[in-house]
């Protein structure tokens, strides 16, 4: 299907969730993958005990898989919170407490991409106040990422599933990337191009790839509609990934799709086993 030049990484927060967290790296390895990514694994706790962090590190090392991406604290995912960094009060405080925890853990396992999800609009906060808070917290996250040689990722969600999120277009996310880079002077904020969310928003994916690949730090995929594995919806991933390569993208492509009713290991039939390991 034309995937031979693509490096795939499996999101263990949406795939293999039928297993406990610490068993998922080994399950991904058994399915043939050598790279994984994660949302923040403790949605109720931005500062877990050292023992929990050490146990996750050991699970990754024992499975011999590389952690390629990690989210900052974002509340309950999937769920209504959809991010914390722009939410005034307790949630943004949790985000700030989480920033160095994430950066330090990422550094310890060689992870060099950190994703920060914008929060929903809230009825009791001025949107301008939320945007100012978001920029402040994103600059904090960008500096923490820079400290470990990582990029800060900013993505657009889709308006159907996240109607209260202000980042529901590639332009909105890329504009924010530029604002963060201008505020820090570091240049390490990058666009997370999630092709599922952008397709749900009705964007022309070929145009998005042509326009924004130069500022893209990571790509995630799921088919649309349905958010299932490639081949369950309408997107032509062989062609989309070819376009990305032609536009100069050489980074990871995260599999962030729902496996369906069967165990996650059965959802990879679309990708031949020899193409799953990082090359």
Does 256 participate in catalysis according to the annotation?
A: yes
Q: Are 83 and 74 in contact (CB under 8 A)?
A: yes
User: How many whole angstroms separate alpha carbon 44 and alpha carbon 47?
Assistant: 9
Q: 58: how many CB neighbours lie within 10 A of its CB?
A: 12
User: How many whole angstroms separate alpha carbon 205 and alpha carbon 226?
Assistant: 17
Strand 66-71 with 7-11, pairing? unpaired
Q: Which SS3 state, helix, strand or coil, does residue 265 take?
A: helix
Q: Which of 37, 91, 203, 256 is catalytic?
A: 256
Q: Are 73 and 84 in contact (CB under 8 A)?
A: yes
Q: Which of 91, 155, 159, 250 is catalytic?
A: 155
Q: Are 12 and 35 in contact (CB under 8 A)?
A: no
How many Cα atoms sit within 13 Å of 6 on the Cβ side?
27
Length of the chain: 279
Does 155 participate in catalysis according to the annotation?
A: yes
What is the set of active-site residues?
155, 256
């Amino acid at each position: 299907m034309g995937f031979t030049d693509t490096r795939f990484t499996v999101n263990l927060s949406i795939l293999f969730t039928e297993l406990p967290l610490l068993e998922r790296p080994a399950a991904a390895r058994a399915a043939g993958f050598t790279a994984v990514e994660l949302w923040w694994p403790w949605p109720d706790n931005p500062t877990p005990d050292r023992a929990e962090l050490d146990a996750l590190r050991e699970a990754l090392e024992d499975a011999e898989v590389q952690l390629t991406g990690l989210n900052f604290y974002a509340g309950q995912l999937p769920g209504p919170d959809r991010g914390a960094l722009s939410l005034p009060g307790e949630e943004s405080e949790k985000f700030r407490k989480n920033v160095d925890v994430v950066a330090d853990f990422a550094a310890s396992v060689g992870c060099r991409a950190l994703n920060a999800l914008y929060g929903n609009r809230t009825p009791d906060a001025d949107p301008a106040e939320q945007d100012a808070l978001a920029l402040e917290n994103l600059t904090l996250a960008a500096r923490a990422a820079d400290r470990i040689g990582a990029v800060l990722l900013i993505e657009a969600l889709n308006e159907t599933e996240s109607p209260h999120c202000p980042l529901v277009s590639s332009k909105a996310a890329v504009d924010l990337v530029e604002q963060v880079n201008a505020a820090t002077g570091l240049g390490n904020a990058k666009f997370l191009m999630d092709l599922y969310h952008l397709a749900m928003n009705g964007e022309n994916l070929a145009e998005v790839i042509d326009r924004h690949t130069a500022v893209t730090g990571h790509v995630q995929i799921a088919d649309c509609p349905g958010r299932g594995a490639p081949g369950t919806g309408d997107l032509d991933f062989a062609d989309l990934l070819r376009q990305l390569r032609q536009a100069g993208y050489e980074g990871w492509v995260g599999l962030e799709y729902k496996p369906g009713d069967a165990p996650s290991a059965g959802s990879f039939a679309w990708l031949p086993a020899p193409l799953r390991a990082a090359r």
